[in-house]
Amino acid sequence: MEKLKKDKLRPVEITTKKGSVKNGYFHRFVYVTDEKYSAPRVLIELTNGKLTMVDPDDVKFTDRE
C-alpha cells in the first residue's frame, strides 16, 4: 500500500481531557462498535508517527478558521 504523504493530510489540533494540546494529521472517521453500541472516532496520526483514535469533539482542523 502506498504510504500517504503528510501534504495530502489535513493538520489537526487535539485537546485532551487534561487540557494538553497535541498536533497531528487527520486520516479518517471510524466507528468503534460493541454489541449494541456504536461510537464515532477520528483516526489521527500524531506528529511522532503514532496512530490514535479520539473523540470528534476533541479535534480542531487547523488549516482553516
C-alpha distances in Å from residue 21, one per residue of 35, 41, 58, 63? 33, 18, 10, 16
Q: Is the pTM of this model over 0.85?
A: no
Q: Please count the structural domains in the chain.
A: 1
Q: What is the pLDDT of residue 1?
A: 37
18: CATH? 2.30.30
CA–centroid distance for 59 within its chain: 7
A 10 A CB-CB count for 1 gives 3
Instruction: Kindly state whether residue 19 falls inside one of the protein's structural domains.
Output: yes
The answer, yes or no, to whether residue 59 has pLDDT greater than 60, is: yes
For 26-52, how does the pLDDT look when each residue is reduced to its tens digit (9 = 90+)? 999 999 999 899 999 999 999 998 999
> What residues make up the domain containing 28?
8-61
Instruction: Kindly state whether residue 17 falls inside one of the protein's structural domains.
Output: yes
Distance between CA atoms of residues 39 and 10, nearest Å: 22
* Inter-residue contact 55 to 41 (CB < 8 Å): yes
A 10 A CB-CB count for 32 gives 10
Instruction: Kindly state whether residue 3 falls inside one of the protein's structural domains.
Output: no
For 1-10, how does the pLDDT look when each residue is reduced to its tens digit (9 = 90+)? 355 566 788 9
Q: What is the pLDDT of residue 55?
A: 94
